[in-house]
Chains A and B, each alone.
Chain A
Amino acid sequence: MPIIVNLDVMLAKRKMKSKDLAETIGITTANLSILKSGKAKAIRFSTLEAICKALDCQPSDILEYVA
């Protein structure tokens, strides 16, 4: 898929652990792992909003389109 999830990069920048982010946004670590690995088929706006709020970033910082 040409959409890349840069969640790892943002987590490293914010020095936050995956487990903490999962707890903050209210999803399981397994689901966060699916999202990070790029296996997810779709992402809800509510999840994206929660991630952006928790990491204090824009959606473009997390999702990137590569042709």
Chain B
Amino acid sequence: MKDKTTILIIVTYGILLSAVSILLNDIREFNFSQFEEFQNWAKTADKNEHWFTTKNAIKWSFYAISAGLFFWRAYLLYAFTYFISILKEIEKGNYFSTKNSGYFKKIANIFIYYTINVLILRFLLASIGKSSFNFLQEFKSEFTFLIPCGLAFYILAEVFERAKKSEEENELTI
């Protein structure tokens, strides 16, 4: 079991590192294209113009929302670090610890928050860009599967809590 856990930890680290490198590359590309465009616009923009004119608001919002999407992606990657924590607990032999059920709840929270927030940001981006936003179409995209995943992790957290109680009862049965 310990060997399998070690392999799983290594695999999880591999996935996490590759996901982080992809995210960093995307941020770099975003900096090259969007940020330069945004800076150029900021240089030429009329300083006397009120901040909340339609044009200014659109530019600022578009940039802020695009940056916000990166933040949520990083937050999702943070959830994967909890998988490593769970695997380390299992490696120690603490299968049904309070920590594990807590980690599962945290992962579930992050998955659900991520999906809801990305949906909101995508909706805002679509409304700023005046492109169409089909809610049902968005729900068909891959990342929305994180909601049932999150709910499954909530169930798993409950199962682990119940298992911990059963384990305690079993240990205190003489």
Residue of A at shortest CB range from B172? A41
Cα separation A27 to B173 with both chains bound (whole Å): 12
| Other A-B pairs beyond A40-B173, A44-B173, A44-B174, 16, CB < 8 Å | A27-B174, A31-B174, A32-B174, A34-B172, A34-B174, A35-B174, A40-B172, A40-B174, A41-B168, A41-B169, A41-B172, A41-B173, A42-B172, A43-B173, A43-B174, A47-B174
A28 to chain B, nearest CB (A): 9
B121 to chain A, nearest CB (A): 50
User: Which residues from chain B contact A31 at a C-beta distance below 8 Å?
Assistant: 174
| Contact residues of B: prevailing secondary structure | mixed
Over the window 8-45 of chain A, the binary record of Cβ atoms lying under 8 Å from chain B Cβ atoms (1 yes, 0 no) is 00000000000000000001000110110001111110
Residue of A at shortest CB range from B173? A42
Interface residues of A, CB < 8 Å — how many?
12
9 contacts between A and B (CB under 8 A): A27-B174, A31-B174, A39-B172, A40-B172, A40-B173, A42-B169, A42-B174, A44-B173, A44-B174
User: Which residues from chain B contact A42 at a C-beta distance below 8 Å?
Assistant: 169, 172-174
Cα separation A31 to B174 with both chains bound (whole Å): 6
Q: Which of B142-174 contact A (CB under 8 A)?
A: 168-169, 172-174
Cα separation A67 to B172 with both chains bound (whole Å): 23
User: Which residues from chain A contact B172 at a C-beta distance below 8 Å?
Assistant: 34, 39-42
Return the 4 tightest CB-CB contacts between A and B, nearest first: A41-B172, A42-B173, A35-B174, A41-B169
Cα separation A25 to B119 with both chains bound (whole Å): 64
User: Which residues from chain B contact A43 at a C-beta distance below 8 Å?
Assistant: 173-174
Cα separation A64 to B174 with both chains bound (whole Å): 17
User: Which residues from chain B contact A47 at a C-beta distance below 8 Å?
Assistant: 174
Residue of B at shortest CB range from A36? B174
User: Which residues from chain B contact A32 at a C-beta distance below 8 Å?
Assistant: 174
Cα separation A5 to B172 with both chains bound (whole Å): 14
